[in-house]
Amino acid sequence: MSWSRHPHAPWYLGGMSFAESSFFPVPPDVMLAPMCLANPRRAWWLALLTTLTSVAGGLFGYAIGFFAIDAILPWLQESRYWPAYQTAVDWFGRYGFWAVFIAGFSPIPYKVFTIAAGALSMALLPFTIASIIGRGARFFMVAGLMAWGGARMEAALHRYVDRLGWATVALVAIAVLWFRNG
């Protein structure tokens, strides 16, 4: 909470959001939630800042995948992110645009999808649009819940955030299947 009240807190939040989308392991929600609790009137602005810097970081992750996948592949194969990367590659083959949207909102590490999108040369415009929608939905939800529900909502969010993310993944998967077969 003390960091969330620091005069440079929005800069830290933006930097963390950017870094998390391409290489940093800590999600920005851990800073966004207390900042929205500390100043609920700025919640929407903070969600927008987090979304835009996260998408910018996602574009950096895309560039890493596009230009440097061969250089980082050995490290990636030895990291805990390798199974998620393989899932990302598989999902791109099946769902394309929707894979990025799901990764933007879900508990799956978004950075893995940004790098995979670049490595697989996904079209940049759909990647960016899916990132804006997915990341925006996630961060605006967190900001809105914190501004609306306060400290009690923060405790509930910590407890249920993964379940909310997976429920969203399931709903999107059902919608994609329905649209493809309908």
**Domain positions in the chain:** 3-181
User: What dihedral do alpha carbons 63, 66, 68, 74 form, nearest 10°?
Assistant: 120
Instruction: Find which of 47-61, 81-95, 156-170 is predicted with most confidence, using mean pLDDT.
Output: 47-61
Asked if residue 104 lies in contact with residue 126, where contact means CB atoms within 8 angstroms, the answer is no
The pLDDT of residue 168 is 63
Hey, what amino acid is at 116? A
The pLDDT of residue 46 is 97
Looking at per-residue pLDDT, the higher value among 32 and 168 belongs to 32
**Which residues fall within 8 angstroms of residue 9, CB to CB, at 6 or more apart?**
3, 31, 35
Looking at per-residue pLDDT, the higher value among 172 and 55 belongs to 55
Is pLDDT of 150 > 80?
Answer: no
The pLDDT of residue 2 is 62
pLDDT tens-digit readout, 103-134: 887 777 899 999 999 999 999 999 999 999 99
Burial class (CB in 10 A: 0-12, 13-18, 19+), 97: middle
User: What dihedral do alpha carbons 91, 97, 100, 104 form, nearest 10°?
Assistant: -130
The pLDDT of residue 154 is 64
Number of other residues whose CB lies within 10 A of the CB of residue 57: 27
Is pLDDT of 5 > 80?
Answer: no
DSSP 7: T
Looking at per-residue pLDDT, the higher value among 117 and 25 belongs to 117
Hey, what amino acid is at 111? K
For residue 89, the number of C-alpha atoms closer than 13 Å in the C-beta half-sphere is: 9
Angle CA(68)–CA(112)–CA(174) in degrees, nearest 5? 140
Cα distance between residue 119 and residue 79, in whole Å: 17
Whole-model pTM? 0.82
Mean pLDDT estimate for the chain: 86
